[in-house]
Amino acid sequence: MSVLIVGSTALDSIKTPKAFNPKLLGGSASHAGVAASFFTDVNLVGVVGDDFPRKYTALYQQHGLDLAGLQVKPGKTFHWSGEYEINMNRRRTLATELGVFETFSPELPEAYRTTPFVLLANIAPALQHHVLDQMKKPKFVAADTMDLWLNIAMPDLLRLLKRVDLFVLNDSEAQQLVKEDNVVAALPKLHKLGPKYVIIKKGEHGSILSGPSGLFIAPAYPLKKVVDPTGAGDSFVGGLMGYLAGSKGPIETNLRRAMIYGSVTASFCCEGFGLTRTTKTSRADIEKRVKELLRISCV
Amino acid sequence: MSVLIVGSTALDSIKTPKAFNPKLLGGSASHAGVAASFFTDVNLVGVVGDDFPRKYTALYQQHGLDLAGLQVKPGKTFHWSGEYEINMNRRRTLATELGVFETFSPELPEAYRTTPFVLLANIAPALQHHVLDQMKKPKFVAADTMDLWLNIAMPDLLRLLKRVDLFVLNDSEAQQLVKEDNVVAALPKLHKLGPKYVIIKKGEHGSILSGPSGLFIAPAYPLKKVVDPTGAGDSFVGGLMGYLAGSKGPIETNLRRAMIYGSVTASFCCEGFGLTRTTKTSRADIEKRVKELLRISCV
């Protein structure tokens, strides 16, 4: 089955201690969309300006993303620039220029409204709602978020959590949202906000799923070198939802394996700036790492 | 087979945001020894003062620890006091009174010198050497350490690493020792220092083994509440070595499962002050959690 992915489609200028890469293809929908494309058909929903490089549109197309839902508006594409510290664990935003993203209203093509799987990648909760409002009985809805929305759009976010099946967030966001330092103790509190399934992402330390049949602890794929972690969380959830949508059988059964696929797609993301490594990856590369990750994490 | 464990035998006064517990039974050898005792016979090597409470000697005995190697000297038992911050992740030492530990020289009873498994729990590397010097062809030697020895006894520690099969340390110690922020990249550098097997402990994020057949990522047992993490690392390595010593078959094959047993013994340690929870644990409790941990961490 196919997956609809809405989120930001951006240009990212990324500085690390070793390099500076201006105007890379970025944004939560770009990372999640390309990650999901290895496993199933993807309907992309986003907005870009008329400055959006053709090579990036071509890159989407090479990955088979359906772009009927990608609006092109007069003006500038959303531009984020940020800088990573030496160990890649902390980053700070240098500049955010919203451009056409400021007035973005995701309008779904009619054909998108029956997409069975929906990933509301990181974007303002009001826009995530607006997408859901247009969907006709989706089979499975996942939402990602970021600390910004916890700070400025909490009521919208809390209302959204009652409408999704899976909520994905990172450990510090979980701690902030339910005022609980212990990740394991935070999980039941997150379920109380609505979602049947919750996944807490812990970066290099993997992720933890909580659902009706209990917990599942998924490892991250061990990387000797992280070039650029931007978009790793989006790639994780994109790979996960792509795998779920592309798999037969009950979601509950597939979710564990989907997390492993998410870990692996995220690992490729970290190995290059922006999407440069991910877009050079094949399904066979992914399967090889999945096999390896299972081998090194199961007794 | 049996395991010889040398390390500190101490009284710990532990302050957390919620409680203060003075003069608990503590020390690396106490934690590791009790953890190992669930799986095999333990020969304990350490020193206590004549103030050492009888109830603690009785506790060792209840766990079947052989105390022929536990010296009792006139003077005070080693006393450590420390304080944990609110999320239990950071601690600071309030006071360290060495007492009889200052002049400790571990002399092994003749019967101990042929113990097949040796755990050099956290203690000065010079003392770890002194124990090894007295051993007759041990089958498998593991060493633990702490940041203090990296700061004040590096030459001794480096020399020790050429004499052990397994070196266990935590992530920040690994980073300090080989000047490498990335844990995965630190592993080959640690092997170059001597040990065939290296385990890096990451607290609540589990641990990672590196050996001739590659990596193994072991999860921590997920705890909703950590009461006192003092001794968790010692309990991990004690449980691991106890399980290894008590198991048939090749060490390489048993090591993965041994890490799971280590994670579980460490989880009990964290659930009470000092050794209070561990000493109330049964082998059946451990087996139950091992089964659960395997179930929630394997696809």
pLDDT at A38 over 90: yes
Burial string for A120-142 (b: 16+ CB within 10 Å, else e) reads bbbbbbebbbbbbeebeebebbb
Contact A184 B260 (CB under 8 A): no
Could you read off the pLDDT of A270-280 as tens digits, one per residue?
Answer: 999 999 999 99
Q: Which residue is closest to B255 within chain A, CA to CA?
A: A299
| Beta-carbon pairs below 8 A across chains A and B | 71
Q: Is B185 on the interface with A (CB under 8 A)?
A: yes
Helix (H) and strand (E) counts in chain A: 10, 13
A299 neighbourhood in chain B, CB within 8 Å:
256-257, 260, 294, 298
Asked which of A92-101, A265-274, B87-96 is least confident by mean pLDDT, the reply is: B87-96
Q: Which residue is closest to B213 within chain A, CA to CA?
A: A296
At residue A16 the predicted structure's pLDDT band, cuts being 50, 70 and 90, is confident
pLDDT given for residue B88 in this prediction: 72
Could you read off the pLDDT of A224-271 as tens digits, one per residue?
Answer: 999 999 999 999 999 999 999 999 999 989 999 999 999 999 999 999
- The alpha carbon torsion through B84, B88, B91, B94 (nearest 10 deg) reads 10
Please compute the mean of the pLDDT values over residues B82-98 and round it to a whole number.
86
User: Given 3-state DSSP classes, what are the helix, strand and coil percentages for chain B, each rounded to the nearest 5?
Assistant: 40, 25, 35
Interface test with B, best of A172, A180, A184 (most B CBs within 10 A): A184
CA distance A80 to A96: 5
CB interface of A with B, residues 110-149, below 8 Å: none
Residue B235 Cα, gap to closest chain A Cα (Å): 20
At residue B91 the predicted structure's pLDDT band, cuts being 50, 70 and 90, is confident
SS (H, E, C) B116-167: CEEEECCCCHHHHHHHHHHCCCCCEEEEECCHHHHHHCHHHHHHHHCCCCEE
B294 neighbourhood in chain A, CB within 8 Å:
299
Could you read off the pLDDT of A140-172 as tens digits, one per residue?
Answer: 999 999 999 999 999 999 999 999 999 999 999
Residue B58 Cα, gap to closest chain A Cα (Å): 35
Please compute the mean of the pLDDT values over residues B203-221 and round it to a whole number.
97
Tokens 């986003």 belong to A46
Class of domain A3-297: alpha beta
Which pair of structure tokens corresponds to residue B256?
């993965």
Q: DSSP E strands: which ranges in chain A?
A: 3-6, 10-15, 20-26, 42-49, 66-73, 79-84, 91-97, 117-120, 140-144, 166-170, 197-201, 207-211, 214-218
Q: Which residues pair with B168 in a beta bridge?
A: B144, B199
Residue A201 Cα, gap to closest chain B Cα (Å): 12
Q: B269: part of which helix (H) or strand (E)?
A: helix B251-270
At residue A17 the predicted structure's pLDDT band, cuts being 50, 70 and 90, is confident
Average pLDDT, chain B: 96
Q: Is A217 on the interface with B (CB under 8 A)?
A: yes
At residue B17 the predicted structure's pLDDT band, cuts being 50, 70 and 90, is confident
DSSP secondary structure of B78-92: PEEEEEE-TTSS-EE
Which residue among B214, B215, B296 sits closest to A214, beta carbon to beta carbon? B296
Contact A222 B202 (CB under 8 A): no
Strand order in the sheet with B91-97: B20-26, B10-15, B79-84, B91-97
Q: Which residue is closest to A205 within chain B, CA to CA?
A: B205
Q: Which residue is closest to A186 within chain B, CA to CA?
A: B224
A87 neighbourhood in chain B, CB within 8 Å:
181
CA distance A137 to A142: 14
> For residue A168, what are the contacts with CB-CB under 8 A and spacing of at least 6?
A142, A143, A144, A145, A198, A199, A201, A233, A236, A237, A240
pLDDT at A63 over 80: yes
CA distance B178 to B155: 14
Contact B217 A222 (CB under 8 A): yes
> For residue A117, what are the contacts with CB-CB under 8 A and spacing of at least 6?
A1, A2, A3, A4, A40, A138, A139, A140, A141, A142, A241, A244, A245
A213 neighbourhood in chain B, CB within 8 Å:
none
Q: What percent of chain A has pLDDT over 70?
A: 99
Q: Which residue is closest to B216 within chain A, CA to CA?
A: A296
A296 neighbourhood in chain B, CB within 8 Å:
214-217
B206 neighbourhood in chain A, CB within 8 Å:
205, 217, 219
Q: Is B297 on the interface with A (CB under 8 A)?
A: yes
Could you read off the pLDDT of B160-201 as tens digits, one per residue?
Answer: 999 999 999 999 999 999 999 999 999 999 999 999 999 999
Contact A217 B219 (CB under 8 A): yes
At residue A41 the predicted structure's pLDDT band, cuts being 50, 70 and 90, is very high
pLDDT given for residue A260 in this prediction: 98
pLDDT given for residue A233 in this prediction: 97
pLDDT given for residue A153 in this prediction: 97
Q: Is A151 on the interface with B (CB under 8 A)?
A: no
Answer for the pair B144, B28: CB distance below 8 angstroms, yes or no: yes
Please compute the mean of the pLDDT values over residues A200-229 and round it to a whole number.
96
Which pair of structure tokens corresponds to residue A152?
């400025």
Residue A60 Cα, gap to closest chain B Cα (Å): 32
Could you read off the pLDDT of B241-299 as tens digits, one per residue?
Answer: 999 999 999 998 999 999 999 999 999 999 999 999 999 999 999 999 999 999 999 99
CA distance A241 to A140: 9
Tokens 């799923």 belong to A209
pLDDT given for residue A52 in this prediction: 98
Answer for the pair B265, B35: CB distance below 8 angstroms, yes or no: yes
At residue B85 the predicted structure's pLDDT band, cuts being 50, 70 and 90, is confident
Contact B297 A294 (CB under 8 A): no
Which pair of structure tokens corresponds to residue B214?
């590659």
Question: At B209, phi and psi to the nearest 5?
Answer: -100, 140
Q: Is B222 on the interface with A (CB under 8 A)?
A: yes
Q: What percent of chain B has pLDDT over 70?
A: 99
Q: Is A222 on the interface with B (CB under 8 A)?
A: yes
Contact A297 B217 (CB under 8 A): yes
At residue A191 the predicted structure's pLDDT band, cuts being 50, 70 and 90, is very high
Which residue among B184, B225, B260 sits closest to A299, beta carbon to beta carbon? B260
Interface test with B, best of A221, A224, A260, A294 (most B CBs within 10 A): A224
Q: What is the pTM of this model?
A: 0.96
Tokens 């240009």 belong to A11
B225 neighbourhood in chain A, CB within 8 Å:
182, 185
